[in-house]
Each structure stands twice: as C-alpha cells, then as structure tokens.
A and B are shown apart, each in its own frame.
Chain A
C-alpha cells in the first residue's frame, strides 16, 4: 500500500471528523435539540443517502464482489432483488408500521411485536432470535473490517482484525461524533462515486462491456449465463427465487431494518426518500457484483474472491482515489457493525434484561448489560474470525435468510391482517427460523434445490395463516390492537390530497380528540 493511499485515507477520516464536529457545533450549543431533532431539518435526499450508507454492509464490498467473481452473471439475481427491496419495504409496511408503532408506544422493533401480539413469549423469542442472528451479522462485519484493514494498511490479518474490532468497540461505547446525518451523507456520496469509478475504470481497462463479455465468454461461456459457473444452478428456480427474495421481501423481516420505519419523520419525506434511495440503489447495488465479474479478467489469479473490489481498486485507480474509496468502504463497514452492535445491546438490555430479569433496572445497570453483551459478541466474533473465518457472503446469507423467514409474516401481517394473532406469530417465528436454519445446515439446499429463504418464508407464512385461523376463538386479537390497526389504515371520507398532508405524529392526538369529541369533551 503506497504512502499516497495512506495519506488520503487519513485525510478522509479528518474530513469526516471535521464534518461531525462542525455539525455538532452548528446544531447543538448547550442543549440537545440540534442532536435529537436535527433530523427534522434533513431533506429527503440526505435522508435517503444516510439510510443507504448505513444499510450497506461488508456484504456489498466483499460478499457481492466475491459472488460475482465465483459465479459470473448469476450473481445479479441477488442484485435484482436488492434494487427494489428498500422501496418495497417502505411501500408495504413503512407508513402503517410507523403509525401503529407510535400508537402503541413502542420504541424498539421487538417491543412493537410484543405490543401487536401481546405476550411475553413473543418478546422473549423475538429478542433471543434477533440477538443470535445479529451476532452472526456482526461477525461478517468484523471479518470484512479485518480483511479490508489488512489490505489498506499492509499489516497482518490477525492484527488488522484486532484493530478493526477495537475501533468498532470504541465507536459503540463512545460514539457521539459519528451520529450526524451529514457524515453519513458524505460517506454515502464517496461510496457511490468510488464504486462507480471502479466500474468505469474496469470497463475502460477491458475495452467496454461488449469486449469484457466477449472475453469472459471465451474464458468460460457459462459465466455469462444466469445459471452460474458450469451451469451449476441450471433450472434451480427454487434457489433463484430465494436469491431474489432475500434482499427484496426479506428486508421486511429484519428487525434492525424495519426499526427505521418507526423513526420516520413524515410520510412525504418517506416517499421522497424512498424514491432517492431507489435511484441510489439502481446505480450502486449492481456495481460490486459487476466489479467481481470483471475481476475474473483483471485478476485471474485472485486468491480470495471476496477481496475483488479492494484489489481491482488498488490495481486500477489513482492512489489518491484508492485511499478515499477504501476509507469510505471501511467507514461504512464499521458504521454498520456499530449499528448492529448497538441494536443487539439495546435488545439484550431493554427487551430481555429489563423486561424479564430486572424490571426496576437502573440506567447504569442497563448500560452494563448492553456493554457486556456487545463485548461478548465482539470477542466471540473475533475468535471465530481469527481461527476459522467463514466467507462474508455465507454468513450474511445465513443470518438474513433466517431473520427474514422468522419475522417477515409477523411484521407484514401486523399491519395488514387483522386475524394475525399471538399464537400465529409465535409459531410462525419459530417454524420459519427453524426451517431456514435446518435447510441451510442439513444440506437440503443441494438435495431439494430450494433456497432456505424460500422454504423458510413459505413455511412461516403458512404457519401464521393456519395457526392464527385455528386459534381465533381461544386467542382473539385484542380490541385495542384492532382499533389501532383501523386507525393506522384509516382513509375515511377525506380525499387523498388531504391524506398526503397528514402528519403521522398526530395519530394519537387525533384518536384521543375523536374519542373526546364523541364523548362530548370536557369544557372547563
């Protein structure tokens, strides 16, 4: 790694820290408003790019490129689902979940499930599953961070991994300066420009798309097909369906993603942000897969396919650009790891410890529990990543398949199906997670040619429907939940143009005022 790359890498972090410091000085003063409510001033483009920046994990920079390198154009099945996933998620459950969660007073995605499907068992199962699976997701970020750090700095992988884990823990325990939308916005722009730059440089190196495809075809024509290297997935529509589903509808079952709906400021912002997020994804999402495919020609002797993007960047880009792009990628990986760890810690302290073990826990005890779990996840992850690191792709696909299978019907039915009840949701989560897990680890993908995401989601959906219908009499959906669902879906006699101007945040006041007026109110 050249001195120029290191210089621009350091420069990148100085700029990011500078933006964070400037934003804090500008917005905060001595009170909290600039921090807590600053997001209200942020427009849809910044909101969209901030969302995408934090959502793009090590998978995009290591797993996607590695898959493209290993399987050729077959990898684009995953990209196809991913491009529309964000918009689908916002459209199907975004608005209703935002309203319903506020009406029920839920602060976390797990607490929301318990309030919609009233039972401590829901919280216990959902919280435990989420902690377990997010732990795997964190592991993928640690490996990605370690590999990236080793390449960027030239130090050994074990040491680079230790540094990456250390930095992520400092992020999580100290935080502060990173929590500014403008730093994420800047990071997102650098990521997009950088990845596009790598694609263009690769195409330029290879003489354009047609020439690249011709060369790949000469090397191995099956890499140009939609069935993978050696036509290994030919006719396996069950696997293709899973690849499409995992990052499209799968998003709707990820607690760490749907929790964003609960923090949306307004429907108008959400809609416009969804549009910009889709535009961003359209350009960004296919790029890492394509770089991986082009790396087949540019780096034929590549040892670790998951390093395709880093290696292509290093080989083709000017040193200064390589430094900036790699820094942005590293920052994105660490920022995602930090977010995942925070959510894991929050679920452990609030949804498990406070709810089931110590309901009168003090703030300091909660912090201790959160930090303890985060430290344990980081240390276990470090050990696994050091001793026998799996590929980032395999970990992310495993964790997201099981998460999506477990929670997709629970979150979707929570806002769309009034008969979805507690036994249905509980059984759906357990069956969905179990089927996806077993499918993956019993080697059933090869024998059945079905993706674990597909079998998991189908089984959890069927379970939700059958169990909910069978238990309507013994476990009806409580009236207050039905009322909240009715309000969250309310259209009424008001023309659509007024609904466009409706402010989510007033849903509770609106319900209370409507009731108050019905009762005659209290004058004086």
Chain B
C-alpha cells in the first residue's frame, strides 16, 4: 500500500476516535467550548487529509459535520440529542469508510449518495435549509448564452458549473469568487444575484447573495477538484455548447511569476524599520533563489546591484514578475492509492525503540568478549581463568537478554484505555435506546497489557457491558420502585495483580435470578435436577457460563441477542485467562476477567506427578491445599472435599493422564484448586513446585492430535515441561 495512504488510514482512525470522544463530552456539556473546538479541529484536520486523495464523498461528509459545528460554535444551532445522534452517525460512517478504504483502497459503492443523504439529515437536524437537488433543466442557461459568450465558450464540449454558495459561506472560510478563479481553463464566469437586489438598507453584507455560473474547457474531474471543499453547493455537468468561434487560450501566470509578484507585495508592506529590513533580507534571498532556479543569470546580477536599496529592489522585483508570463500549470491527476490487504500496524513510542537499540548495542559489546576468550583458550590459559571469564560474560549477556526481553514485551504493551474507548459511546447509545439512565464509571484505563490480550479483551468487554445494560440495569421506574436511585451505575475497572490483568464489569442492577438460571439449565438438560437443586446460589449463578444456556433465547433477565456468557468465557480462556461472576439479587452483578499480561509468555504453576513435571496456567489456579486423606469423602470412586462450605469434586492427575496409581504412604494429599470457568475442581498431584514464566509452544505434528495438552515449554535447565489443558482432560 502507498505509505501515504496507509498513514492516512491510521490518522483518520485517530481523528475519528478523538472526534467521538469530544462529541461525547459535548453532548454531556453542550456549552463546552473546549469540546466543540476539539471536535471541530479533528474534523477539520480530517477534511484536509481526505482532500489529499480523490475521495470527494468523504470530504463532503466531513465537511457537513464541520458546517454543523460551525453553526453550533456561532450560536446558530444548539447541540440537541438529535444533532448529536446525526453527528455520531456521521462519525460511525466515517469509521466504516476508513475500514473500507483500508481493506479495498477505495470508498464503498454509492458513497456519494450516502454522503449527500447524511448531509441532508444533518442540515435538517440543524433546522436549516434543505440540500440542493438539481432540478431538471437546471443547466438550460448554457443554451441561452449571449453571442459574445458563445464566441469564447461555444463550439466545444465544456464543463458547466453551477455554484450556489451558502449564504453563510463567508463564515466558513469559503471565498466563492476565489474558488471560481481557480477553475482551470475558465471560459466563462457569470456572477448573478440569487434574488433581485433588495433596498440597500436591507442588504446584509455578511451574507452571500450571489450565485456563479461558469464554463471551463477542463475535464469535469479537474473542475470538481476545485470545489472539493463545497461539494454540496455545486452542480457540475459536461455538455456541448453550440457556437462558432474558438476561444483563445487563456493566459495564466506561472508559479514563478506569481511568487515574484508576492515578493513585491511583501516589500510594499508597512512596518517598523526592523521588520522592513527583515523582509528585505528574506525577499532578496527568495528572489535570488528563483532567478537561480530559472537560470536567469543576467537578472540575478542586476538584482545584486539594487539589493541594498528597498525602493529600487521593489521596483525591480515588480518588473521581474511582469517580464514573463508562462503557460498555465497543467493539473496533475492525483495518484489513486492501489488496493492492498489490510495490515496490522503497531505504533511504538520512540523511547521504547531507543531503549531496544541501546540494549542491542550492549549485547554486541558483551558478545565481543567471546572471541577474546576463545583466543585465550587456544593460547593455553588456565581452565579456571577461562571459566571465570565465561561466567562473567554469561552473566552480562544474561542480564542484557533479560532486559531485551522485557523491552520487546514493552513494545507490545498498550494501555487498556484502548478497549475502554468504545464503552462510553456504547453505554450512551444503548441507554438512550432502552430508555434507561446509566452512568458509566471507568477506572484503571492506564493499566497496561500486551496487544494480543487487548485484542482478546475487546469483544468480551463489550458483551459484558451490553449485558448489563440490557438485562442487569432496570428501567428508571423499576429502580424507583425498588428504592434505588433512578440513574444506574456501571463500573468498568482494570488493575494489574501479580498474575495478570484484572478487568471488572460491575453494575447495581437487578442481579441474576439464580432460581431462573437453575430451572433453565435443567430444562435444557445441561444439568440434572437433583444436582441443580444441591447447588448454592453462587454456584447456580455460575451456570450462566455453560454453553447453550445464555444464548439467544436464554433466560430473559440475563441475556439476549445471542450474547452468550459462554462465548465470553471461551474467548478469555483461549487467552489463558478465567472469568468469575458474582451476583446478588436486587443489588447487581459483577463479572471479573483475569487475563495474563501477555500471550507470548505464560506464567505456569508447576506440579510434580509420577516423576514428571506438569504446568497449569496460573490464571486458572485459585489455591493450593494439603488435605488429610481422612478429610476426603469418597462415594464409590468419586472423591470430594469440603472447601469454604462447598463441596469440591476431587480429581487425581495420575488417573486423568492414565498413569499408575500413587502408592506412596503419605498422610496428606497435595491438592491444586483450579477454577474451570465457574466450576471449582480440586486436582490431586504428587507435589507442588515453583511458578515459572515459560514460552508456550503449541503441540505440532502428530502430537497436535493429543488432547489435554496446551503445549510444551523448555525450562531454564533444559527440562521439558508439559502444560496441560484441563478442560480437555476432564
């Protein structure tokens, strides 16, 4: 992909994000001048960027938004919920278009019509005039040219332009006449009053009362480009004009002459002596450069003679500008960016990159010690000295590699604010749609996690917040009836603990009806009735994680629209994390996602069983116990223990792996307590070992078919560690 275009895609996304955030602020605080300015600036910059490419519909779209804000800024319109909705829709459309541009290299089909429609809607929301629709025969004036006009424009195919500037165009920075002047190969320019002139005393000089009719010999696209910033105010058509005489080629001044003329104007400016002297210096250099560039040696020599006298210099520069008139600059069609597959870009702070560079430098230096040691070995240096040298070098390299690893990980580390960003908007829209009043509180946005983790986190987080909005939060009436404040609260918070990143979504809504969940689970055959009855409230609530329970037609008060809690659980566990849920009827629900800091490095809890080492992701481990054999309850071969007043099934790792039974005579069993997405299980192992950070390699080849293994890792001492996937084992 063209790097410039790629840059545009990245910047456009950022600008749309920034605009969205500013719009939220503006909606909350309609008089917030800072928010208006931020929003305006973002759109303005975006409009400028779209103007660099041939994407007139996009420019039109953004321009419409900019116009609306201008009206707000000048007090001509208010930020009504309707206007905010329209603006949000505009930003959403912009995001979709950027996605399309990123994937396909161009705007979707029909973008122009869509942009026009949005424009009309926005204008309606402003309470302003309707968008211009070209009536048939609008261009009939072309057929009614005067004889004199026909002499210059007739007898050829022309591009006709009808430009009806907004009455307020002077406030949006448009200069209609100047725009018309920029039309390439202009053949005809008519300036007419829109309505018969009023009494002079009734004339408003701040409103544009004129319209423009022009003909150009340039192709339609070239002409349209001139009106890029005001696409809503022009109609352009290609047509043939009857006539006789061919027009003479218009004389357009070359850029060099224009710039020279500008220098003469600069010299004519008023100012203090110091200012005038500074201007003389820069004009002199500029003019000298132009003459050098054009190879006008004689003129340059003459320039040097008048250089010290401001008046003479000014006269000389004016003369230079008149001396030549070049041909008009032909317009160069803009390179249309080629379509290319979307690419994943990661923005990295320069400091982090610099740190990496300096570490690599250190590594190179440390490594250079090795050939020196090799030479010493060859020359018969004592083993002790060599061992000493090797150990030192190894120590240095170790330290650097450790830092290097940390630095590389940091490259991929981003703040969680990224995944929090869409939430305010989601809550605002959904609350409005559902007629609920909700306050969203975010905290811990600055918590950092690996990019892969953020990618995993995004969707589940949206699901959870949407669930809260849909089913957790009651209507204001219901809340009042329940003696709660009408405005509900959803708190999304993040923090880091020793095992990873924790993200919580909590609401003060109705909570989950454990009884309903129980009934549903039994109805659907997900659990047997007697087992369901034996579950504690807490355990029953966790049934929502079972696949098939909370999908589309699930229990009405906790799910909807196919947003399954099992999908949330699956996504989080896929990334090596786990989900916890706690809910209190009438008081609210809290869902907690625990994720590792990175997916590249997995923190595992190691256990020993039958002489081999096995690992479990620490995010799954909730505890380690020593249980006396006498405390294990056994019904046939099904064993269990009582933990925090709850019955926890006990499984033996040896049996799960098909290893021989443990025949050691021990009084206590080592039990690892793991949380399998709502279900707590005790796992009997031979012994606990330490925790370790490992790089997990998935099983490949024939081994990939083995179930129950998440992958393998090589430990520091070279031993192989098998990391287990408990869900598959059970």
Say whether A associates with B.
no
